[in-house]
Amino acid sequence: MLGMRRKEKAITDRTVMEEVLREQEVGRLATSVGDQPYVVPINYVYNDGKIIFHSHKDGTKMANIAKNPRVCFEVDSGEIVRAEKPCDYSWRYMSVIVKGNAKIITDPAARLVALRRISDKYAPGKGKKLTTDELAKNPQLVLAEIVIEEMTGKKSPVKPPS
């Protein structure tokens, strides 16, 4: 496997990478079955070293995960840095890439905790209103987590050495 080409752009502090994961609202989940890659944007929450997300039980991403749980997940934030000449334009960014295995959360109590965490990220304070009864009435809802095996981060611009 190739490493990062521009090593000076690497984010080596896990705390910084975790902050990027916590702050972003949309990530991209990549799955692959056979020679068919698939990438889809998802809402998620980062908690305790895992990426937690929800989905409908039917659909490409869940079918792919059932066949191959190996996934890649990416988040980024950034902005274009404009210049006089087009070739001098740049991109100021931070990104994190996670590799790991996705698994379905099946335990009812763990499902409720996962859904509450997602809800509280996007609708603060409303997750506590969710109940196991509501989850039971919604059998098409899948809650899943990515168990992180590898995490890398990258940023630009890089501060010049002091």
| Interval 97-136: pLDDT, tens | 999 999 999 999 999 999 999 999 999 998 888 888 888 8
Segment 34-39 mean pLDDT: 95
- The pLDDT score that the predictor gives to residue 92 is 86
Segment 138-149 mean pLDDT: 95
- The pLDDT score that the predictor gives to residue 159 is 55
**Torsion over CA: 39, 140, 120, 123 (sign):** positive
pLDDT surpassing 50 at residue 160: no
Tokens coding 144:
């899943």
Most confident of 9-18, 79-88, 106-115: 106-115
pLDDT surpassing 80 at residue 9: no
Please enumerate in sequence order all residues whose Cβ is within 8 A of that of 53, keeping only pairs 6 or more positions apart, or say none.
29, 42, 43, 44, 45, 118, 143, 144, 145, 146
All structural domains of the chain: 7-154 (2.30.110.10)
What 3-state DSSP class applies to 58?
Answer: coil
Largest CA distance in the chain: 59
Query: In terms of pTM, does the model score above 0.95?
Result: no
Please enumerate in sequence order all residues whose Cβ is within 8 A of that of 144, keeping only pairs 6 or more positions apart, or say none.
52, 53, 54, 55, 62, 65, 102, 103, 104, 105
